[in-house]
Amino acid sequence: MSRHVAPHRWADAFAGKLDDSERALMDRHAESCAACQRTRTRIAGASDSYGSIRTQPGPELPWDSVRARVHWAVSKEKRAQSQPAGPPGRRVPNLVWGVLAATAAGALALVTPPSPPSRPAAPVAHVTSPVAPPAPVVAAPPPAAIAGLVIRVAGSGARDVMIDGVRPDDLFARHLGAGTVIATGEGRVDVQFGDASAFALGPRSTLELRRFDSSMIELVIDGTIDLEVAHRAAGQRLVVVAGEHTVEVRGTQFRVSREQAGTTVSCRHGLVAVRDGSAAQVEVGTARRIQLAPGAAVSSDQIVPLSVDELASLASATPIRVPLWNIDALVVGSAPLEITTVGPRDVRVDGVELGLAPLSVRVMPGRHTVESADSAGRYRRVGWVDVAVPSAGSKPARLEVPAEVPRTAGVAERRRQLREGIDQARLARCTRSIAKAGLTGTYVQVELAVDASGAVGFLNVIDTDLPSATASCVREVLADVRFRQGAPATWREKLDL
């Protein structure tokens, strides 16, 4: 053999493709040729390595070489299917041996001198898109705080109500918010905190506004509280905590009374849920009540119907509300009206029953008619009162309701003394301005009481069509009338002016 053996011939020899005589001839040549001997050694090593590749699993390639992995798996599958049956030494497919030959050629090329290094490629600039910063996480806004206003104080008057341990002079101007503690003596106080939501704190009771916002209202009661609550929106809660028992509502009128003997929950209309310390719960519906001893677990067996008298008591205890709720406008645009009585008397203002006087109630500026109930339960007008827009340091408007005095036989004599004692000149001066304006045919109706000594017990203007200033002037003229001793009398007198 006059020339070197080609590398692929060595590969064919190791693959068993050549007969023994040609293989022996190539081996004899390699013994005398150092170059072919080196080539035979490299091809033999490569043949041994590639012979084991066929049985190895696919290599672990990075995610961007999926095509190579698929190609490897498919090629392996094809090799397994196309492998011919025969002696173990001849089961390697031709494609693999072609690859081995090419690899051997590459290995042979490694011994050749390396080519001069090529000039490095110019770097390629990569433009990356700016990454937008993550959107800031916006925290949910806290629930809005709400506040209440005093609408009525019944019983001993505003001085009988304590706010945070003091008796404020500006009770009707105060905003009552979260953390406020209200305490009562012998009277009761009504507080409104929404269009149709209010509570009335009963006598000798204490209430803490533990939480007072648009999401949660939590009231802690020691005593008695009557509530009328508008329907709660989704996510809104109102609970009353009475010791170990909790009352939660959605929209209803009910009463919670916590005393030493236990806690009583009475529902006039709607539905309330009552829970104990173990989270057991029962629902108390319309005209039902439940009474719980201290530490007792709640049970539906404890719910009983309300009697007619109990329902009437709940109705009379309905908290007073103003029809148009705007807390800021009410603080600057409304004022308290004080109504005093000799002994407890039921009163009405502008036809609205307010319960037993004495009391103070929030009204809008203007003229208001006051009525009181007599011993027979009939309401009789006792006067009217003008309420001005509140100002700094101004005193609240006030009206005295006289005690009910039985009529006597001396009414005719006292009426004659009244008409004879009127100073007609002063009376004419009172009405001069309206007479010049052409306003005639006016009147004023008063109610007064005169005792046996001739002293005037009370004198109230109960009806008139005169302007406020003119009516006040006429009343002063009538108040200066002097009566002689005689029979006591109480009557109403209408004077045409």
**Residue 28: pLDDT above 80?**
yes
Residue 135 lies in a domain: no
Which two three-digit tokens encode residue 5? 């053996």
> What pLDDT is attached to residue 111?
40
What's the average model confidence in pLDDT over 453-463? 90
Residue 187: DSSP 8-state: S
Query: What is the C-alpha separation between 199 and 115, in angstroms, rounded?
Result: 99
Answer yes or no: are the C-beta atoms of 180 and 193 closer than 8 Å: no
Give every strand in the sheet of 352-357, ordered side by side: 352-357, 345-349, 366-373, 379-387
Per residue in 279-303, pLDDT tens?
A: 889 999 999 999 999 888 899 999 9
Q: Which of 63-67, 116-120, 306-310 has the highest mean pLDDT?
A: 306-310
Mean pLDDT of the chain: 83
Domain boundary among 87, 108, 129: 108
Question: Please, what sign has the CA dihedral across residues 92, 93, 94, 98?
Answer: negative
Q: Where are the alpha helices (DSSP H) in 54-91?
A: 66-82
Q: Give the range with max mean pLDDT: 87-96, 264-273, 403-412, 435-444.
A: 264-273
Nearest to 183 by CA among 154, 212, 208: 208
Asked if pLDDT for residue 159 goes beyond 90, the answer is no
> pLDDT tens across 235-244, in order?
889 999 999 9
234 — pLDDT class (breaks 50, 70, 90): confident
CATH number at residue 353: 2.60.40
Q: What is the CATH number of the domain that holds 443?
A: 3.30.2420
- Host H or E run for residue 242: strand 237-242
> How many domains does the chain contain in total?
4
**Picking from 59-68, 336-345, 372-381, 452-461, which range would have the lowest pLDDT averaged per residue?**
59-68
Separation CA 121–CA 416 (nearest Å): 130
Residue type at 332 in one-letter notation:
V
Same domain, 206 and 297: yes
Residue 90 pLDDT grade (very low, low, confident, very high; cuts 50, 70, 90)? very low
Higher pLDDT pick, 320 / 120: 320
Is 302 in the same domain as 346?
A: no
Q: Tell whether 218 is covered by a domain.
A: yes
- 376, 460: one domain: no
Whole-number Å distance between alpha carbons of 430 and 464: 14
Residue 252 and residue 184 share a domain: yes
Let me know the angle formed at the C-alpha of 323 by 317 and 324, rounded to the nearest 5 degrees.
140
Instruction: Please list, in sequence order, all residues whose beta carbon lies within 8 angstroms of the beta carbon of residue 11, skipping any fewer than 6 positions away.
Output: 43, 46, 47, 97, 100, 101, 104
Flag whether 325 is in a domain.
no
Same domain, 307 and 346: no
Residue type present at position 132 = A
Q: What is the pTM of this model?
A: 0.59
What Rg do the C-alpha atoms of the chain give, in angstroms?
A: 53
Query: How many CA atoms lie less than 13 Å away from 291 in the CB half-sphere?
Result: 7
Q: What are phi and psi of 35, to 5 degrees?
A: -65, -45
CATH number (domain holding residue 265): 2.60.120.1440
Rounded Cα distance between 23 and 14, Å, is 9
Does a structural domain hold residue 117? no
Has residue 424 been placed in a domain?
yes
pLDDT at 306 over 90: yes
Cβ–Cβ < 8 Å for 408, 377: no
How do residues 410-428 score in pLDDT, each as one tens digit?
898 999 999 999 999 999 9
| Helix, strand or coil, per DSSP, at residue 147 | coil
- Domain assignment present for residue 129? The answer is no
Q: How confident is the model at residue 101 (pLDDT cuts 50, 70, 90)?
A: very low
Residue type, 274: V
CA atoms within 13 A on the CB side of 385: 25
Q: Number of helices (H) and strands (E) in the chain: give both, helices first.
A: 10, 26
- Residues 454, 482 contacting (CB under 8 angstroms): yes
349 CB burial (10 A radius; 0-12, 13-18, 19+): buried
Do 299 and 235 have their domain in common?
yes
Q: What is the domain range of residue 14?
A: 7-108
Residues 394 and 415 grouped into a single domain: no
248-279 confidence digits (pLDDT tens)? 997 899 999 999 889 999 999 999 999 998 88
Average pLDDT (458-485) is 91
- Token pair for 271: 């539905």
Q: 364 lies in a domain?
A: yes
Do residue 192 and residue 270 come from a single domain? yes
Q: Is 454 helix (H, G, I), strand (E, B) or coil?
A: coil
C-beta separation of 108 from 40 below 8 A: no
Residue 310 falls inside a structural domain: yes
> How many other β-carbons are positioned within 10 Å of the β-carbon of residue 42?
17
Residue 14's φ and ψ, nearest 5 degrees, are: -70, -20
Tell me: do 90 and 173 sit in the same domain.
Answer: no
Mean pLDDT score, 206-217: 95
d(CA 355, CA 317) in angstroms, rounded, equals 9
Same domain for 229 and 354, yes or no, is no
Nearest by Cα to 218 from 256, 183, 187, 162: 256
* Nearest by Cα to 276 from 292, 255, 259, 256: 292
Query: b/e map of 449-468 (b: 16 or more CB within 10 Å)?
Result: bbbeeeebebbbbbbbebee
Q: How many residues does the chain have?
A: 497
Cis check: omega of the bond before 294, within 30 degrees of 0: no
Answer with the residue of higher pLDDT: 394 or 48. Answer: 394
Could you tell me if 93 and 203 lie in one domain? no
CA distances from 467 to 11, 395, 442 (A): 130, 22, 10
Q: Structure tokens of 376?
A: 């027979």
Of 223, 316, 196, nearest to 268 by C-alpha is 316
Pick the closest to residue 467 from 419, 430, 425, 428 (CA basis). 430
My answer on whether 155 and 283 are in the same domain is yes
